[in-house]
Every structure is written in C-alpha cells, then in structure tokens.
Structure 1
Amino acid sequence: MPSFSHDPLSPKDAADVVIVGVAARGLAAAARRAGLRALVLDLFGDDDTRELALAAIPLRRIGAFAIDPADLYEQLAIHAGPDIPVVLGTGFEHQPEVVERLAARFRLVGNGPPTLAWTKEPLMLARLLHNLGIPHPQVFADHAPAGMRTLEKRIGGSGGWHVKPASESRGWGWYLQEELQGRTVSALFLGNGHKARLLAFSEQWCEPSEDAPYRYGGAAGPIRLDPSIEASIASALDAVVNAAGIVGLASADLMLTGDGWSLIEINPRPGASLDVFDHEPLPPLLRLHFEACRGELPDLALLTPEAAGMVRGAGVFYAPFSFEMRLDPLPDWVADRPPQGTRIETGEPICTLFAAGRDVREVRDTLARRRDQLWRDLSMASRKAAE
C-alpha cells in the first residue's frame, strides 16, 4: 500500500505509484490529490501531465491510439520495480494477455484478466447480465436479426471511435449490439469483489464526426435519476460486482429508456469521470480505489448536485482541421495541454475543456463557447507562427 503524503508536492526520490494509460493526465491529477508521487507512462506526454507527475515517460504507439506492449514492458522494467503499485487506465480492455503479463511481474492494483473477460467480452457480459436478471441490449457475434437496428463495436474499444451502425460484424474482435434510444448516463462506483458502493451519476454525450458518429464528447455531473431507478441500478451493480469480482473504481454506461433503463457496458477501471467527480465533497478517488482493491468500501451517500454545490463538466475538444500547437499560455479551463510545436491532425483530440454550472445544459453551453473561443485563438496563433 502506498503512503499518502499530506504534502503531495514534497520532493522524494521514489514514486509511490506507477500510472499507465493511453492518456493518463486524469489519473496523474487524481494521484496528486491523493498525496501520491506518480510515475506516468502514456502516449501523449502533455504539459500538465508532466507537471503533475514525478516523471512522465512517453510510450511508443501502434496505429492511432494503441500502446506498443513491447515498449511498455521495457519502460516498466527500467522505471518501475515489482513493489510499486501499478494502476492501469484506458487502453487495456482488449488486451487481457498484456494485463496478465503485467500482473505476473508487477503489483497491479485493479482488475485482472478474469474480471476483464467477464466485463469486456460482450457475449460473456450479456450472459452474465441475463443470468442476473439485469436489463441489457442484445449482442450478436456476426449478424443482426431481421428488423433489429444494431451497432458494430470493437471488443474492448473505448472513446466511441469504433462504434458505427451495422447489421453485420466485420469479424474477429468485433460484435454487434442492439441499438437503444434514450438518455446516456454513467454510474461511478467502487467494488470490493463482493459489493458495490454507488458514488454518483453523470450524463454523457457524443461529439460525432463523419467517420465516428458515436465519438465520445464529454460528461457532466452529478445528476439525479428517479429514486426507484437509482435503487435498481445500485442493486444491479451489487450483483455484477459479486459475480465478476470487480474491485476498485469503475463505471457503468447506462441508457435510460422510455420504460426503464439498460446496462450498456462496464468499464472496470478509473476513467474520464475522474475529471467530473474527483473534487470536494468526495474524498480523493484514487485513495478510495486503493482501499476498495483491498476490500474496504467507504460509507458515502450518493453524491447530489446540492451536496456538490455545482455541476461540473469535462468535454473533449477535437481538431476541426490540422494545425500546429503555438498558443501559450492556454486558459486555466484547459487540461491535457499539448506541448508547443505538436502537430495535431484533423479529428484528433486537442485537449479537454472544463466548465461548471447549475445544470448539465448550462455546463454544455459553457463548454461550447469555450471550444469556439479556443479554436479561434489556436488558429490565429498557428497562422502567426507560420508567417
């Protein structure tokens, strides 16, 4: 168990935790709030990630946003010892063999391959939810039944880049899921392998592009649902945690439909909702993650907008066109700040924008205004640098 310092800025020689993910700034910020010195390995090496971390090690990528496993093993062998806890963020749900190899050599704090299989292998998850009596969309390995609208998804995919309407799967590594209509929300919870503690709900939205109509756009919370639905979801999460052995911080993607709700997906790891919820009045969420992984759940009530004092939101800003980062400094409501001179291609994520307000609508309006303002400033700075 790492030691939690009361002064997270105090310099020391060794890291308390190693954080690995495609983009790990959110977890690095969570470590800072929990009083932990973090060694971070990710693909982007954003300026604020390097400021938050004891050290930030860039990882080699495969394709657009995939970590090269060989480089990851090499960097961990150089920079992390077997006794330092390792927390995984995004990028591993479709690679249980990588997680298994990491678990054999390093001290992983989170869910291992068996739990990943139950939660991220679609047919297994659907069978589990059916046996538990939890509402969920139907899934298919290859063809959709006649008359049913379905979405093709990549097994273990994240961020919505891979999701498209389809009636036939492209083959191994892909599947079809029944398309549901409704309001998309996410439940943040902790698991100790037997029970769940529901922490908060957020609302999610897409930022569609021509080739990625379901690309993740952002989230805002806390929000409240109908009390009977909240109770039903809490009971369902208890059952899923017990059946799949989920430990630590996790989230469930849900669809609120006209006649109730449906569980779309389980993300058995800390995720994007850290930006929304890792603030007062909740305790440091990474600390709760460590405690839950050793079996301890906090006595916390469901977070409400009244208790939080506001609704917070975080939205991903994708590049409308290719450009080179030349704006410095960036506003204080920007996170995941690319280093100066970074070339960002059309459709790639530039950064994350933050906003707060009285409700989700106000938060989204503020995020939209900030996105437009920032793009004007980025474009002008890039043009001036090119002159």
Structure 2
Amino acid sequence: MSSRSSLAHAPLVAVAGLSARMLAQSAVRAGLRVVALDVFGDRDTRAAAELWFDIGGDGLCIDSARLVQALERIARLPRLLGWISSSGLEPLIAPLCHTRGLPGLIGNRAEATAAVRDPLRFFPLLDELRIPHPEVALAHPAAPHEWLLKRADGCGGTHIESATGFSDLHTPGAGYFQRVSPGRSLSALFVAARGSAHVFGFAEQTAQRMGHLPFVHTGSLGPIDLPPHVSACVQDAIEALCARTGLVGINSCDFLLDGDAFQILEINARPSSTLTLYETAAPQAWPRGLLACHLEACRHGRLPLPAHPPPHGAPADHAWRAGQQVLFAPRPFGVSQAFSDACLQDPHCRDVPMPGTWIEAGQPVCTLLARATSMDAVRRALQRQEARVLQRIETCHEPDYAFIQCHS
C-alpha cells in the first residue's frame, strides 16, 4: 500500500526524534499511516506523514514542552497504535514514560533504557557478563589526552569530546570518561523480543571532527562481513544483554573491532540511522521495511523469520552494499525552490530541506544514499553525489537559472 487512498483505513503510528524521516518512510512501507514529530520538517518527511509537528527548540534540539503538547494532541487520534522514538530523545524517555495522557511508547521503557545507558549500571553489567569494553572512569583521569568524555544521554557523536577540554575532577551529570582504544568503529543493528535477539547485520560507522567534537556521526556503510567467530561473539554478547535488560524492538550496538578483538562502546536503545542502510541494501529481504519488525517485536514478542530467497534470476540481496552520508553545509546558505526541488527529485537524496530554510555552516543539508555491489563502488557513488549537491548549493540561487543547472 503506497497511496494515501489505500492507507485511509490503516492503523496510525507516531514517530518522533531530531529527524523523523527514516521512521516515517519505513512506517509507510509497513502499510501504516504516520504522524511525524521532529525539528527539521523536511519535504520527504512531510510527504510520508499525514501530519507533522514542529518540536524544535533553540538550535537543532528538541523542545520537551512542545513534544509533550504534540503527543497529547496525537493521543486523541483514532486508530493510533502508539509512538516510536528516534535519536535525540534519550534524556526525555524516562519523564515521557511517566507523563499521563500521552500515547503508549512502542519500544524500550525507561527501565530497559537506563539498564544500557546509565554508566553505573551498563559497564558493571558488561563486566559481570565478561563482555569486553574500553576502560571507563567517573573521576578525571591523570592522562586526559588518552581519554574521552561522554554524556550517556547524547547521540550522533555530539555527546563525545576529548577529556583534555574538561578540567573538573568529576564528570557532569550522566557523563563518564572512556579510554581511547584502537579499532574500526562498527555497529550491529538488531531486534529484540522476550530476551532474545536477531542481528540484521554489521556496518562501518563514519565520523569527522567538527570544532571541539572529534567524532560527529556522518554516516555508515554496510552490510559488512565479519569473520564468523567474531560475528558469533558479538551476537552472543547482544543476546546476553537482551536477556538481562529486557530490551525490545530495534536497537543498535556500537563497538570497536581491532583484528579479532571487539569492545562494546554503547547501546542505542531505539531504532538507529542504519535502519535505512539495511532497507536500501536488501529491499527484497524486508519488503515491508524494518519498522514492521520493530512493531512485531514490541507488540507481539515476535522476531523475524528467515528471509525468503529472491525470485529466479533476481540478484541476491546479500550481493549488495549500501552507504549513507550526511552532507554538512560548507557555508551558510538559503535553500532555494530550485535546490529543494532538485534534491527531492534526486533518488539518492533524503532529508530534503524545505524552500526558504536557512542552513548555517556545519549544519546538515541532506542525507545521501548509494547502493552498489561493492563497498568501493558505494564510496565512489557517495563522492559523486556529494559533488552534485555541493554544486547545487553554488548554482541554485535564482529559480530560472537554477532550473537549468540542477536538471541538466
């Protein structure tokens, strides 16, 4: 079901976060009607949703009061299944779960979220389960250049900075220090139910330094193949954590891989941005999208069945790789109608800004997607797409001239 008329009598789900586009589009694939709540209001988000609520505060952050007000209004809508959290709501989950008059959260409740986000609970649990992780501390380390300071309720790498820039003897709030460790930055996307888990796959995380933030998330590449024994060890660790914490639905696990040795960094107790990556790489395996798996796990305690083989003659999904990259503005600019239209018509662009949006230097412009049969080809495709969008920024000013430049 893809048209609005075919969805007229379908159940309704609300999706909320800094950006709701990923979940909104996946919900439509699952045959659901969508209400989106986020701070951007991008064109493809609004196209997927029947209603959109602006929950932005000062800067690119969520205003908790506006979020609560929007959820209170949504709670009165008919055929509402509940709401699903995306990134940016980590510090708000506990109070939202205890606020009356809101729709039910389809995902991890406050207790399960705290079990994997509170450093005083999570890292002792890893130690108890003998799951490796970088050394952590609450007191300021003697050699701060070897450590990072992390906020447990943050996301997207904006919660990580060098410990050298923090001189207090103790961490602020829910912060903790983590020793810098070698290895590739990877993630595992998984869905959990009734103490068990199904791992969809593994992806490589990309990041870049932005100002004083050394690891701002910029995208992901995958699925990648790991040695079978490494894959089994990571999956065993995820299974053990799910059995002890009661995680449900789609979550992700960030970890470092150095040779055959892995170390868990953190658990994101909600659907992560790599959901789009796997839907792009393997559309035949998940014809109803991955959010359908999240709903089945949270509402019915069911994990996905093995994927059916592709039709005769069709390329297998496992032969494909995908990549996504957040493009950040190289300079301040206003989004013209021509720029927005060109990106919306580009099949490789997501999170397309509305005409008239002002984007500061260093803020996200859009997300680029690529799919190919090798990781090198994916990287090349992302580079070409980045060059195209950067050219649009420079040429799409006046509507008549920009139309020629952007659509040639």
Q: Which amino acid aligns with 1:64?
A: G
Residue 74 of structure 1: aligned partner: 69
> In the superposition, relative to structure 1, how do residues 166 and 86 fare at CA in structure 2: closer, same or farther (>3 Å)?
same
SS at match of 1:239: helix
Q: Does 1:85 align with 2:90?
A: no
SS at match of 2:203: strand
Cα distance in 1 between the residues matched to 2:176 and 2:5: 46
Q: Which amino acid aligns with 1:241?
A: C
Is 1:323–1:379's contact at 8 Å kept on the other side of the alignment? no
Of residues 154-163 and 170-179 in structure 1, the stretch that sits farther from structure 2 once superposed is 170-179
Q: After superposition, what is the alpha-carbon deviation per residue over 1:46-104, rounded to whole angstroms, capped at 9, x for unaligned?
A: 0000111122121132x433211111111121233385311111112123433323587
Offset of residue 9 of structure 1: 5.4
Q: Which amino acid aligns with 1:68?
A: D
Residue 280 of structure 1: aligned partner: 284
Residue 41 of structure 1: aligned partner: 37
Residue 159 of structure 2: aligned partner: 162
Q: List alignment gaps of at least 5 residues for structure 2.
A: 310-314, 403-408
Matches within 5 A, 1:120-269: 120-146=117-143, 149-167=146-164, 168=166, 171-269=172-270
**Paired residue total:** 381
Offset of residue 206 of structure 1: 0.7
Residue 303 of structure 2: aligned partner: 297
Q: Does 1:31 align with 2:46?
A: no
Residue 317 of structure 1: aligned partner: 327
SS at match of 2:213: coil
Residue 329 of structure 1: aligned partner: 342
Q: After superposition, what is the alpha-carbon deviation per residue over 1:225-275, rounded to whole angstroms, capped at 9, x for unaligned?
A: 000001111111110001111000111011101351111110111110121
Cα distance in 2 between the residues matched to 1:54 and 1:313: 28
SS at match of 1:206: strand
Residue 363 of structure 1: aligned partner: 378
SS at match of 2:235: helix
> In the superposition, relative to structure 1, how do residues 9 and 149 fare at CA in structure 2: closer, same or farther (>3 Å)?
farther
TM-score w.r.t. the length of structure 1 is 0.91
SS at match of 2:270: coil
Percent same amino acid at aligned positions?
Answer: 33
Is 1:8–1:33's contact at 8 Å kept on the other side of the alignment? no
Is 1:194–1:245's contact at 8 Å kept on the other side of the alignment? yes
SS at match of 1:251: strand
Cα distance in 1 between the residues matched to 2:399 and 2:32: 40
> In the superposition, relative to structure 1, how do residues 67 and 228 fare at CA in structure 2: closer, same or farther (>3 Å)?
same
Offset of residue 153 of structure 1: 1.5
Is 2:132–2:263's contact at 8 Å kept on the other side of the alignment? yes
Is 2:75–2:101's contact at 8 Å kept on the other side of the alignment? no
Q: Which amino acid aligns with 1:333?
A: H
> In the superposition, relative to structure 1, how do residues 65 and 385 fare at CA in structure 2: closer, same or farther (>3 Å)?
farther
> In the superposition, relative to structure 1, how do residues 268 and 382 fare at CA in structure 2: closer, same or farther (>3 Å)?
same
RMSD: 2.6
> In the superposition, relative to structure 1, how do residues 308 and 25 fare at CA in structure 2: closer, same or farther (>3 Å)?
same
Is 1:203–1:223's contact at 8 Å kept on the other side of the alignment? yes
